[in-house]
Amino acid sequence: ATGNPVLTVENLEAWYGESHILHGINFNVKSGEVVTLLGRNGAGKTTTLKSIMGIIGKRTGSIKFEGNEIIKTSSDKIAKQGIAFCPEERGIFSSLDVRENLMLPPTIRPGGLSLDQIFELFPNLKERLNSQGTKLSGGEQQMLAIGRILRTGARFLMLDEPTEGLAPVIIQQIGHTIARLKSEGFTILLVEQNFRFAATVADRYYIVEHGKIIDGFANSELSANMDKLHTYLGV
């Protein structure tokens, strides 16, 4: 069951230097949902996640998280409010081993997962505990990147293309993990190019195009929206 909006984004605009990238993004994510942002390359999905995390130079509009306005809040304070971001490039430190990578982010809120809880979720990581970041497969790196943000205690997770470049069997595993996290009450905002994967985990979708949200629908409305997906994403 899903509840009230935990995240409400209104008229979000964002810039990289002089480049105006987001032109008024509007959407929300309710407690316990998995919401997926879909859209072509360069549409502004990653920029939307970065704006919510506060790691983009200039942003205007409104981002309310659990009722608090965070559009002017610094990224460290946003993290402390319980938002975590797992970037597309994963950010694994190649010279550190699995344990060291996991220990990097501080636990910023109560409720962060212990290493044992993370290994229960990702048994592969336990076997690779002393392996350096460079020795990990793409799938292991992605699991490490997700495991790492779970240590922080954040309950709102933003995952940027977690399936990119991964083999089907690993993608399936990531899907099970997302379903498991949802069942444990996490709220997840996902960016995906892989629509077939998104369809296995998402409750709702928004389509991003040229820095705007141009449409949104629930998973139950998927079949009625297939032509749109075809038009906008080539699905």
Question: In this structure, which amino acid lies at residue 21?
Answer: I
Identity of the residue, 52 or 136, whose beta carbon is nearer to ligand ATP in the bound complex: 52
CB 6 within 8 A of CB 29: yes
> Residues in contact with ligand ATP, total (CB under 6 A)?
11
Between 71 and 108, CB nearer to ligand ATP: 71
Nearer to ligand ATP (CB atom), residue 144 or residue 208: 208
Stretch that binds ligand ATP, among 35-43, 100-108, 174-182, 217-225 (CB under 6 A): 35-43
Choose, by CB under 6 A, the member of 32, 44, 133, 153 that binds ligand ATP: 44
Residue 233: CB minimum distance to ligand ATP, A: 11
DSSP character string of 40-91:
-TTSSHHHHHHHHHT-SSEEEEEEEETTEE-TT--HHHHHHTTEEEE-TT--
- Token couple for 80: 């402390």
Query: Given candidates 6, 8, 12, 47, which one binds ligand ATP under the rule CB under 6 A?
Result: 47
In the bound state with ligand ATP, the residue whose beta carbon lies nearer, of 25 and 201, is: 25
Is residue 93 near ligand ATP by the rule CB under 6 A? no
Strand residues in 80-203 grouped as ranges (E):
83-86, 156-160, 187-191
- CA dist., res. 176 & res. 133, Å (int): 23
Task: Indicate the length of the chain as a whole number.
Answer: 235
CB 22, min distance to ligand ATP, A:
8
Is position 149 an interface residue for ligand ATP (rule: CB under 6 A)? Answer: no
Nearer to ligand ATP by C-beta: 97 or 209? 209
Strand 19-30 with 5-16, pairing: antiparallel
Nearer to ligand ATP, 46 or 163 (CB): 46
Residue 43 near ligand ATP by CB under 6 A: yes
What separation in angstroms does the CA of 62 have from each of 26, 59, 70, 108, 131? 9, 9, 7, 24, 42
User: Is residue 39 a contact point for ligand ATP (CB under 6 A)?
Assistant: yes
Nearer to ligand ATP, 7 or 213 (CB): 213
Please enumerate in sequence order all residues whose Cβ is within 8 A of that of 74, keeping only pairs 6 or more positions apart, or say none: 54
Choosing from 32, 33, 34, 46, the residue that interacts with ligand ATP (CB under 6 A) is: 46
Task: Quote the least distance from Cβ 74 to ligand ATP, whole Å.
Answer: 19
Should residue 21 be labelled a site residue for ligand ATP when binding is judged by CB under 6 A? yes
Residues 6+ apart with CB under 8 A from 205: 35, 36, 37, 38, 198, 216, 217, 218, 219, 222
Interface residues with ligand ATP (CB under 6 A) are: 16, 19, 21, 39, 41-47
